[in-house]
Structure 1
Amino acid sequence: MSVAVRVPTILRTYTKGESDVSVDVDEGATLGDVVKALDAAYPGIGARILDDTGEIRRFVNVYVNDDDVRFDSGLQTPTPSGAKISIIPAVAGGC
């Protein structure tokens, strides 16, 4: 099955500039499976999403079909066929 991943501008260097990519995962896959498949297809992107302990980085928000996974099951959140995943890193700055 295939899921769509929306890639933020800051991570598009890993996807050759693509803002939307699809990854293939097995039926019944979780968000963790999707991140592994994403990193296999686009090496290095996984390290920008997950920290050294394998958890979602503190300042990265991930949504599966508009639901914040921090309030669901984190990396164990189910990703049904056709799911839309958005990766949104926090942005700081200004004056």
Structure 2
Amino acid sequence: MSVTVRIPTILRTYTGGLAEVPADGGTLAEVLADLDRNHQGIAARVLDDEGRLRRFVNVYVNDDDVRFTEGLLTPTPDGAGVSIIPAVAGG
């Protein structure tokens, strides 16, 4: 399945400045693996040392926050949009 991944500004150094890049995979885990194959190092910014989504990174497949669906096993149907959004904290 081919999806479009929206890349936040802070991670665009991995994508040559591109705000959106294509990736393939039937699940979010597969999409992130493909994304890292094509843009080496980006997965380490999204996943922790144990291979889980980092606590302060939000990921959406279409409009669904994967923390409330199936996490890395969330299906990524053909044509889906995947958004990586760093959490913002402050007061």
TM bracket (short chain) = over 0.9
Distance in 2 separating the partners of 1:31 and 1:52: 17
For 2:84, the aligned partner's letter is I
Residues 1:70 and 2:67 aligned together: yes
Residue 93 (structure 1) shift:
4.6
Flag the structure with higher helix content: 2
**Alignment RMSD, CA only?**
1.1
Asked if 1 retains the 8 angstrom alpha-carbon contact of 2:35 and 2:43, the reply is: yes
Count residues with an aligned counterpart.
91
Residue 92 (structure 1) shift:
3.2
Query: How does the TM-score come out when normalised to structure 2?
Result: 0.95
Stretches (4+) displaced over 4 A: none
Greater shift in the superposed pair: 84-93 or 47-56: 84-93
Distance in 1 separating the partners of 2:90 and 2:13: 21
Distance in 2 separating the partners of 1:85 and 1:41: 16
Give the 3-state SS of the residue equivalent to 2:59 in structure 1: strand
- 1:61-88 deviation line (CA, Å, top 9, x unaligned): 0000110000000000000000100000
Query: How does the TM-score come out when normalised to structure 1?
Result: 0.91
Which runs of no fewer than 5 residues in structure 1 stay unpaired?
none
Give aligned-pair identity as a percent. 67
Residues 1:15 and 2:12 aligned together: no
Which runs of no fewer than 5 residues in structure 2 stay unpaired?
none
Task: Specify the structure having the higher radius of gyration (Cα).
Answer: 1
Distance in 1 separating the partners of 2:52 and 2:89: 21
Asked if 1 retains the 8 angstrom alpha-carbon contact of 2:12 and 2:19, the reply is: yes
| Counterpart selection for 1:58 from 45, 55, 70 | 55
